[in-house]
Amino acid sequence: MDSQNIFILGIESSCDDTAASVIHNGNILSNVIANQKIHEAYGGVVPELASRAHQQNIVPVVHQALEKAGITKEQLHAVAFTRGPGLMGSLLVGTSFAKSLAYGLNIPLIDVNHMQAHILAHYINEEGFEKPPFPFLAMTISGGHTQIVKVNHYFDMEVIGETIDDAVGEAFDKSGKILGLGYPAGPEIDKRAKLGNPKAFRFTKPKVAGLNFSFSGLKTGILYFVQRETKANPNFVEENINDICASIQYTIIGILVDKLKQASKETGIKHIAIGGGVSANSGIRQALKDGEQKFGWTTYIPKFEYTTDNAAMIAIVGYLKYLEGDFTEQHVMASARLKI
C-alpha cells in the first residue's frame, strides 16, 4: 500500500458543529466547521434543531473541505466519520452521509470514536506542536466530556476517571447562566476571571472517590450563593462579577488539577495532554505550565482549532486506521453511548 500519498475525508456531526476536513498523510489540508448559532437563543444545544441544521450544512461543508484542500472526491482514499458518542439525531446525519459517499466512490469507510479523536488530535502534523509519547495521560474537557484517559497506544486507551454528572464545560456554562452571562459562558468567565480575585469567594469542592469528577454540586452551591447575596444586595452580581468569575474558575481548575495530580501519581506518568473546548481556558493552561515546574510534567495542548469539536481530529484517526487497514462495514450503526 502506498502510505505516502493518502487523502482522507473526516466528517464530524456528534453535537452542534457540522465539520469536514481533508488530511493528506497526517497534514491537514482543510478544516471546515459550520457552527449552529441557533442554540444560543435556548442557552444550550437543542438536539432536534441540531439534527436539522446538520442536514442543511453537511453537503456545503464537505464540498468546501474538498475545495479548500484542492482535491476532488475521486482522489479520496477513504471516508472517516464520527460513529459516537454524541446526540443520536446528529450522529445519524454524518453516519448516513459518510456511508453513501464511501459507497458511491467505492472506497473504505472508517468509523471513529469521538473521544479517541479528541485525544489523537495531538498526532496531527503541526509545526511547533509536539506529539506526546506513549504512555501519556489525556484529560478531555469540554461541554460534553470530562475524562482522564491513560493512553498506552493509539487505540489502546483506558478511561481511569470521568464525571459522574455534568461535564466541566457545563459547569462553566450553567454558572454563567446563573450570573446572567450569554451561552456558552466559558470564554466570558475566563475573560472576566483575569480581572478578578480568585480568592474573593469560596466554593466547596466536591468529594468524589478515585479519579472521578462531579460538577453538579458546585453549580447548586453557586446558585444558592448568588440567591443569598442578591437578597442582601440586589446589585451583588453586577458589582462583583469579575471576582465571582475568578472564584468559580479557580474552584473548577482546582478540581481538575487535583485529579490530574492524583492520576499522575497513581500511574507514574508525567506526560499530560489536554483536549476539548475547555482547554482554551487560560487558568487551566497556566495550571499545566505550573505543573511542569512543580511536578516535572511535560504538557501538551493542541492547536486551538483541533481542540474544540472539529473534523481534523476525525481525519487523523481515519488516517491512522487506514494505515492499519482498520475499515468498517456499510451496516455500521451510529452509537450515542460509544465507549473508548
Is residue 84 a contact point for ligand KG4 (CB under 6 A)?
Answer: no
Distances (CA, A) of 292 to 146, 157, 297, 303: 22, 24, 4, 19
State the nearest-atom distance from the C-beta of 100 to ligand KG4, in Å: 25
Nearest C-alpha neighbor of 319 from the set 155, 77, 74 = 77
Binding test (CB under 6 A) with ligand KG4, winner from 184, 221, 291, 318: 184
What is the strand order of the sheet 271-275 is part of?
156-162, 146-153, 136-141, 271-275, 298-300
Please tell me whether residue 302 binds ligand KG4 under the rule CB under 6 A: no
Q: C-beta of 177: minimal distance to ligand KG4 in Å?
A: 11
Q: Residue 72: which residues within 8 A CB-CB, separation 6 or more?
A: 66
Q: Measured from the CB atom, is 163 or 308 closer to ligand KG4?
A: 308
d(CA 219, CA 150): 28
Q: Please report whether residue 309 would count as binding ligand KG4 according to CB under 6 A.
A: yes
DSSP 209: S
The footprint of ligand KG4 on residues 269-298 (CB under 6 A) is: 276-278, 280-281
Contact between 138 and ligand KG4 (CB under 6 A)?
no
Q: Does 170 bind Zn ion (CB under 5 A)?
A: no
Taking alpha carbons only, the member of 188, 191, 171, 168 closest to residue 180 is 188
Count the residues of the shown chain that bind Zn ion, applying the rule CB under 5 A: 2
Angle between helix 47-69 and helix 88-105 axes, rounded to 10 deg: 30
Q: Closer to ligand KG4 at the Cβ: 175 or 240?
A: 175
Site stretch for ligand KG4 (CB under 6 A), options 4-12, 125-133, 138-146, 212-220: 138-146
Please pick, from the candidates 190, 271, 317, 321, the single residue that binds ligand KG4 as defined by CB under 6 A: 190
Q: How far is the CB of 116 from ligand KG4 (least distance, A)?
A: 14
DSSP, collapsed to helix, strand or coil, labels residue 153 as strand
| Residue 175 Cβ vs ligand KG4, minimum distance, rounded to whole Å | 10
Q: Cis ω on the peptide bond leading into residue 184 (within 30° of 0)?
A: yes
Task: Determine if 306 is a binding residue for ligand KG4 (CB under 6 A).
Answer: no
**DSSP secondary-structure letter at 163?**
B
Instruction: Give 175-196 as a 3 state SS string.
Output: HHHHCCCCCCCHHHHHHHHCCC
Report the site for Zn ion in 294-313 (rule: CB under 5 A): 309
Nearest to ligand KG4 of 164, 280 (CB atom): 280
Q: Which residues bind ligand KG4 (CB under 6 A)?
A: 15, 142-144, 169, 172-173, 184-187, 190, 276-278, 280-281, 308-309
Q: Which residues bind Zn ion (CB under 5 A)?
A: 142, 309
